[in-house]
Structure 1
Amino acid sequence: MDEMKNNASKLSEIKKENPFGTPEQYFDDFSARLHTRMAAEAQSSAPQKPRIFQLLKPALGLAASFAVVVMLVYVPLRLFMPKELNQVAQVTDTSDAGFLNIIEKIDEESFVALLNDTESEDDFTNDELALYVSANFSDYELYENLTNK
Structure 2
Amino acid sequence: MVPAAPSMPAPQQPTAVYSSRPARQLRTKRGLLKYILLGIITLGIYDLWQLSEIGESLNLMASRRDGKKTMHYCLLFFIVGPITLGIGTLVWFHRISARVGEEQQARGMAPTVSAATFWLWGILGAFIIVGPFIYYYKLLHAMNDLSADYNVRG
Report the TM-score range of the alignment, normalised by the length of the smaller protein: under 0.3
In proportion to residue count, which structure has more helix?
Answer: 1
Answer with 1 or 2: which has the greater Rg: 1
TM-score, reference length from structure 1? 0.17
TM-score, reference length from structure 2? 0.17
Structure with bigger RCO (C-alpha 8 Å, 6+ apart): 2
